[in-house]
A and B are shown apart, each in its own frame.
Chain A
């Protein structure tokens, strides 16, 4: 049997590999290729060299969208992880109804981003109207905090589940040993539980960081980038570049933006992985 697997492993690998190449590697290479061209359809392209990349950095809206996205990512990553961890701690204490609460907190994650965006748009606009404040589409500050509220609501439950799994894996004898040594519950949390759940922290920060940075649906549905692109994030900016302007050159610039965007996401998440991994401890 083992021999057979050794011999035929490529056959077992092939379907997944083929899917990966067709669905990911090939379009990815095409994307990079297209970012150096101007085109309407991908079979008729004209090579333009680095022109597209030069124009990306001349585009003020792209830089603005980057800073908006960066601010959003920092705030949402911190808030989501703190709340998710706090909830996970509360829901691993063996309180009554724990399972019901876990389900309730997880539920928002099952609804798609576009739907959530429109629902929250109605809710938040209703609230802002009652308070006599400008609507979401009129003031980027409200758009920003609206997006934060929406993302927290959607993501906290998911991250909570990961933290719960991490917390449940903290060996009971370690906690017992800590309490015998006279550690307070706060000390146990900081010195014992937290180092032990660092792998979960790594995953959760990675997920929230990349999700926030790549956010598209919620941005499109909740604010649509209004007012005048002041709440536009990078993914929506790329989409607009590609579709909202007529003329062949814009497709290439949109594509170049996408490549820059990819490099940004990759580098930010690698830095994050490096720093959180360092804090992980061996059991």
Chain B
């Protein structure tokens, strides 16, 4: 038995030795966006070649970021750089976020709003700005006898959409809108992104940026736009429960529908239609003065530096990020290869984004339209979104009524807010 104990002790000793043999300063980025994994790997390699500082980039599988982060951050070689999606995500991780207020990153931000603050401390810095709206196929729109200029508010959007829907056979379409699929691959477009609209207008009306209890002032408008989507789509509303994100892409790219609600990140999916045939319209929901409304622009991607990492690793990470946003390689990679709109003042001229859907947003903003901010990071929890999503699906199929959506939206908000605070 003594031999066993000795053996076990020897093993423990070996393990202890392996753990204490730590390396010099290094960077470990737990990346959120699988689409850009290859570019980050490449960038990490270049940085290591130039400076000798090892940079590891690991990308979490889609939808598994929180889970991956939870286990990775426990390790002795924990991520020094990770990301949160906004105030709600920060609530989980605030103890792990290093204050970035004194770094170059914050100084280079084009707008103070892109810093995720807690008091005076800057806990996160946005690194990509995205925009969504209703992507429209202008070729089909013109074939139906309309132009983008005809659509300036909800009323005109409804008129055009319903007319197209009525003449869909003649136009060779399946519907005006792509299917508003409520499968998990697509339901976020409605339970999160579309739900941002009534929240945005309510926050505007009340002059707030967050709330413990939503009133649902603009839920009739939410109903109006949802009715428009489901009744003028490519399929029966009852079938939406099983429609996926790919279904909507296929319908849009196959030129079976004119309108498709999604964002700048979807450019690669739809680009084969040709930039000259595509544009993006604001999501009008019938609020007074919406003729001046722009696209929904914001971010849910904030870089956070791990506060519990070794100080030298923290410094190395900040140096890496500063290099990414100021060096030629870093800027080229982020703006052109990753296709991001990056909210730092170093990204001008040739480092501006080439995404045509981004150009639409820039043009609209230049024309004086007011961008709609992203308020969905203030939604109380995933659970709340799921509740609204279920109710929307049931309403579309006719197995539930709109009152259930209102209840999930308003009562659900208060309940979930109380449960998470």
Task: Identify the A interface with B (CB < 8 A).
Answer: 10-11, 14, 40-44, 121-122, 125, 129, 134-139, 224, 226-229, 240, 243-248, 250
In contact, B397 and A134 (Cβ under 8 angstroms): yes
In contact, B387 and A228 (Cβ under 8 angstroms): yes
Residues of B near A246 (CB, < 8 A) are: 88-89, 91-92, 380-382, 420
Q: 0/1 per residue, B386-421, Cβ < 8 Å to A?
A: 110011011001011000000010000000100111
* Separation of A245 and B95 alpha carbons in the complex (Å): 18
In contact, A11 and B241 (Cβ under 8 angstroms): no
In contact, A245 and B416 (Cβ under 8 angstroms): yes
Q: Which of B4, B382, B390, B420 contacts A226 (CB 8 A)?
A: B390
CB distance from A41 to the nearest CB of B (A): 5
> Which secondary structure dominates chain B's binding surface?
helix
In contact, B242 and A247 (Cβ under 8 angstroms): no
30 CB-based A-B contacts, threshold 8 Å = A11-B4, A14-B4, A40-B92, A40-B95, A41-B70, A44-B95, A134-B241, A135-B397, A137-B182, A138-B393, A138-B394, A226-B390, A227-B390, A227-B393, A227-B394, A227-B400, A228-B408, A240-B383, A243-B66, A244-B381, A244-B382, A244-B386, A245-B381, A245-B382, A246-B89, A246-B91, A246-B92, A246-B382, A246-B420, A247-B381
CB distance from B398 to the nearest CB of A (A): 8
> Which secondary structure dominates chain A's binding surface?
loop
* Separation of A135 and B235 alpha carbons in the complex (Å): 14
Residues of B near A134 (CB, < 8 A) are: 238, 241, 397, 399
CB distance from B307 to the nearest CB of A (A): 12
* Separation of A38 and B386 alpha carbons in the complex (Å): 24
* Separation of A11 and B4 alpha carbons in the complex (Å): 8
In contact, A41 and B73 (Cβ under 8 angstroms): yes
Interface residues of B in 234-260 (CB under 8 A from A): 238-239, 241-242
Task: Identify the B interface with A (CB < 8 A).
Answer: 1, 4, 66-67, 70, 73-74, 88-89, 91-93, 95, 182, 184, 238-239, 241-242, 380-383, 386-387, 390-391, 393-394, 397, 399-400, 408, 416, 419-421
In contact, A129 and B390 (Cβ under 8 angstroms): no
- Given contact pairs A137-B241, A226-B393, A245-B416, a sample of 10 additional A-B residue pairs in the complex whose CB atoms are under 8 Å apart: A11-B4, A125-B242, A134-B397, A135-B241, A240-B383, A243-B66, A245-B381, A245-B383, A246-B92, A246-B380
Q: Which of A11, A14, A135 contacts B239 (CB 8 A)?
A: A135
In contact, A245 and B419 (Cβ under 8 angstroms): yes
In contact, B242 and A135 (Cβ under 8 angstroms): yes
* Separation of A134 and B400 alpha carbons in the complex (Å): 11
Residues of A near B416 (CB, < 8 A) are: 245
